[in-house]
Chains A and B, each alone.
Chain A
Amino acid sequence: MQTARNGAEALRVVKTFAPDLILLDVMMPGQSGFDVAATLQGDPDTQHIPIVFLTALAADESKAQGFEMGARDYVTKPFNFDELGARLRARLREKRAEDALRARQAELRSKLVGERHDGKDDA
C-alpha cells in the first residue's frame, strides 16, 4: 500500500506503483479527486485500475459526478471501517476477475498475431 497527499503526488504514485485499487478523496488541495480520476481514466496504463471515492461530499450530484468519472464505488464520510473493507474486497474481486479475462485475451491475441494476412484487426 502506498499513500499520496495530493492529486499530483497521487498520479506519480499510481504510475510507479501500479496498484490494484485506488481509494481517492475528492476535496484535496490543487487537483480535485475528480480531476485525478479523469487523468487516470485517460491513460491506457491506469484506466483499468478501479477507483473508490471516499469523501465528505454526500450530495447526489457529487455521487453522480464520481460514478461519471468511472468510479467503481463511492463511500461517504464518516464511514464504517469494516464496511469500507468489505466494499474494497468486493471491488478487488471484480478487478481480479477482469484482470484474468484481460490476460486471457492478451494470450489469445498473441496466438493470432503473425498469422493474419488480411491486415484487419477484426477481433
Chain B
Amino acid sequence: MMQANRLSAARIVIVDDEPANVRLLERILQHAGYTDLTSTTDPRDALALCKETEPDLILLDLHMPHVDGFGVMAELRPLIVDGNYLPVLILTADITPEAKQRALSGGAKDFLTKPIDPPEVLLRIKNLLDTRFLHLQLQNQNLILEEKVRVRTRELEEAKLEILNRLARAAEFRDDATGEHTRRVGETAAALAGTLGLRAAEVELIGRAAPLHDVGKIGIPDAILLKPDRLTVEEFDVMKTHTTIGAEILSGSRFPLLQLAQQIALTHHERWDGAGYPRGLKGEAIPLVGRIVAVVDAFDAMTHDRPYRKALSTPEAWEILWEGAGAQWDAGLVEALASTQAVVKGDADGAALSPTGARRRPAAARSGRR
C-alpha cells in the first residue's frame, strides 16, 4: 500500500515506564527498518515529546506511575482526534476486556497485550501507519485541490475585472484613448465612497463599477461625440442617450457589480434639482452611486482637456462645483469630495476647496462634461 521508504521514515514515539520494554520495542522496530524512534520512560513527558517530534504513531503503555496510559491519551486528545489521525497503539500487560474497551473508546486505534509477539506488533504498526498515511495523503491532495480552486477562482475574478475595464476603455476609446478618465473616475468614486463611510465591500464595488459609467458612448456617432463645437439641441438629445444605451448594455446581469454599473450608467447625469437626464429624477430619488459618479465625473472632466474645451484649473473647477452644490449636485457629496481631495492631495488646494469664498457667483452651474 505504502512505499517501504515512507514507512521506515515514520516517526514513532514510545512511552513506557519500563526501560527494558522500551529497549525491546526499539530493537524490534529497528530490526524491521524503522529509524526515527523517540522514547521516554516518564509519561509526564509524553505530551511535550509528541508536540516536539510530531510523530506518526505513538506506542503507549497503560500502567505507569504519575500518569497512566488513559491519562496520557486524555492529554493527547487534541492531537489524536480523527481529523488529525495520529494513531495510538496500546501495549500493556492488562488483558482485561474492560481495559481494552476503555483504551479503544478513549482514542487508541489498536491494542496489544504483553508479552508482545514481535511479528504481530509489526503487522499492526504497519497497518496503523498505512491508515495514517492514507489520511495524510487524502488531506494533502485536498489541500492541493483547494489551492487550485482558489487560484482558479482568483483568476476568474481578475479576468472578469480586466474584461470590464477593457470594455470601459473600448467604449470610451474614441474620446479617451488612454483610458485615464475612466480609471480616475473609478478611483475617485471609491475614495469618495470611503469618505462617506460605506462598507469596504461597497467601496470596492463602486470603484469597479464606476469606470463603466459612459459605456453607452459606444452608441453615439463620432460626429456628435467628437464634435469640437457646442452641440445643437438635437445633437445633445442624441448625446443624452448614452445613459440609456449604457444601462441597456449592462442590463439583466446577475452580478452585483454589473447591476451597480447599470445603475451608475443610467443615473450619473441626473441632477439634484431634477433638471438632469434621462429621467429627471430629483434629490435622493437618484441612487447614491449615481450622485457620487455625477460629481466625480464632472470634476474630473473639468480638470482635464476635452475635445470642446481646455482643462480648467483645480480652483476654477472647485468654484463651479461649489456653485452647483445643491442644484446640479448633492451638496453633501461635493463637501465629501472636498475632504476626500484634501486627504488625497494633502490639502495642497485647501484654499480652493473651502466652501466659503467660493460661492460668490451664483451663476448657472454647468457640468464640464456632456
Contact = CB atoms under 8 A, between A and B. Distances in A.
Interface of A: 60, 63-64, 67, 70-74, 80, 82-83, 85-87, 89-90, 93-94, 96-98, 101-102, 104-105, 108-109, 111-112, 115, 123
Interface stretch (B22-30, B133-141, B222-230, B259-267): B133-141
19 contacts: A60-B119, A67-B123, A67-B126, A70-B1, A72-B127, A73-B110, A80-B97, A82-B98, A83-B100, A83-B101, A86-B100, A89-B104, A98-B135, A104-B142, A105-B142, A105-B145, A109-B145, A112-B148, A112-B152
B105 to A, nearest CB: 5
A93 B109 CA distance: 10
The 3 A-B pairs with the shortest beta carbon distances in the complex, nearest first, are A86-B104, A108-B145, A101-B138
Q: Which secondary structure dominates where chain B touches chain A? A: helix
B120 interface: yes
Contacts, number: 86
Contacts of B197: none
Interface in B51-109: 82-83, 85, 97-98, 100-101, 104-105, 108-109
Contacts of A93: 82
B310 to A, nearest CB: 49
Interface string B109-122: 11100000101100
B123 A64 contact: yes
A117 to B, nearest CB: 11
Interface of B: 1, 82-83, 85, 97-98, 100-101, 104-105, 108-111, 117, 119-120, 123-124, 126-127, 131, 134-135, 138-139, 141-142, 144-146, 148-149, 152
A67 B127 contact: yes
A26 to B, nearest CB: 15
B152 A115 contact: yes
Contacts of B142: 101, 104-105, 108
Contacts of B98: 82
Q: Find the residue from B104, B105, B131 having the highest chain A CB count within 10 A.
A: B104
A86 B111 CA distance: 11
Given A60-B117, A63-B123, A123-B145, A98 B100 contact: no
A97 B104 contact: no
Contacts of A67: 123-124, 126-127
Given A83-B97, A98-B138, A101-B138, A60 B120 contact: yes
A87 B338 CA distance: 73
A98 B110 contact: no
B119 A83 contact: no
Contacts of B134: 98
